[in-house]
């Protein structure tokens, strides 16, 4: 059976310095860089991943949008940035609980533009176990409010990064096929 192809647009949202760019870099190039460089505007990356489903496989051509986390820019960019997005990774930093609280606004901003698309919550920097202020219950309740799955990830170690993107791709393709 021929594999179907699907192009999808995915956005990462969250405050500045939660690790959105690092997650993308880990996913696309399998690299990690400790230097923090604030994303200016939006940066777009691409990667094809294979999703296997009950109706055969699908090659998902992901266009991944990374947006700067500064609040002032959210208003300026959100329409263009979120427009056409079919999935969202909502990212917080496990060492800064306020970044989880702020995700509510980010998710609301996306849903306003995209309607109800698959969302997955990522509690990033899970390698910093000793500094965690976000508990499993915290991220679980934020995710459940949106019927969304969640994962603890680490762009540094690569923990769950591949799985996070693959899971979102699977959620998007299931919705497309349904």
How many contiguous H segments (helices) and E segments (strands) does the chain have? 6, 6
Query: What local confidence, expressed as pLDDT, does residue 117 receive?
Result: 96
What is the value of pTM for the model shown? 0.92
Give the span between the Cα atoms of 168 and 170, in whole angstroms: 5
Query: What local confidence, expressed as pLDDT, does residue 88 receive?
Result: 96
Q: Alpha helix (H) ranges present in 30-135?
A: 71-82, 97-101, 103-114
Query: What local confidence, expressed as pLDDT, does residue 156 receive?
Result: 97
Query: What local confidence, expressed as pLDDT, does residue 2 receive?
Result: 65
> Please, are residues 71 and 101 in contact by the beta-carbon 8 Å criterion?
no
Ranges of each domain in the chain = 4-177
Buried/exposed code over 23-44 (b: 16+ C-beta within 10 A; e: otherwise): bbbbbeeeebeeeeeebeeeee
Query: What local confidence, expressed as pLDDT, does residue 80 receive?
Result: 78
Give the span between the Cα atoms of 12 and 14, in whole angstroms: 7
- Blockwise average pLDDT, block size 10, the chain, 178 residues: 85 94 94 77 87 81 84 68 94 98 92 94 97 98 96 98 97 85
Instruction: Please choose, from the candidates 12, 8, 47, the residue with its C-alpha nearest in 3D space to the C-alpha of residue 30.
Output: 47
Instruction: Please choose, from the candidates 174, 177, 140, 166, the residue with its C-alpha nearest in 3D space to the C-alpha of residue 10.
Output: 166
Query: What local confidence, expressed as pLDDT, does residue 72 receive?
Result: 66
CATH superfamily, region 4-177: P-loop containing nucleotide triphosphate hydrolases (3.40.50.300)
| Cα-Cα-Cα-Cα dihedral sign, residues 44, 45, 51, 56 | positive
Query: What local confidence, expressed as pLDDT, does residue 56 receive?
Result: 73
CA–CA distance from 165 to each of 21, 43, 57, 72, 101 (Å)? 13, 17, 16, 27, 22
């Amino acid at each position: 059976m021929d594999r179907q192809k699907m192009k999808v647009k995915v956005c990462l949202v969250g405050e500045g310095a939660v690790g959105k760019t690092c997650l993308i870099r880990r996913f696309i190039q399998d690299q990690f860089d400790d230097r923090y460089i604030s994303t200016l505007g939006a940066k777009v990356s691409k990667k094809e991943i294979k999703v296997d489903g009950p109706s055969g496989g699908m090659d998902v051509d992901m266009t991944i949008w990374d947006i700067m986390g500064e609040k002032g820019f959210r208003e300026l960019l959100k329409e263009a940035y979120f427009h056409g997005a079919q999935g969202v990774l909502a990212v917080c930093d496990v060492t800064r609980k306020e970044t989880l609280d702020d995700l509510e606004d980010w998710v609301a901003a996306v849903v306003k533009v995209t309607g109800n698309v698959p969302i997955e919550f990522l509690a990033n920097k899970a390698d910093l176990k000793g500094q965690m202020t976000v508990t499993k219950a915290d991220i679980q309740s934020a995710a459940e409010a949106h019927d969304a799955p969640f994962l603890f990830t680490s762009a540094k170690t690569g923990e769950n990064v591949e799985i996070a993107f693959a899971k979102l791709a699977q959620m998007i393709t299931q919705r497309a096929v349904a």
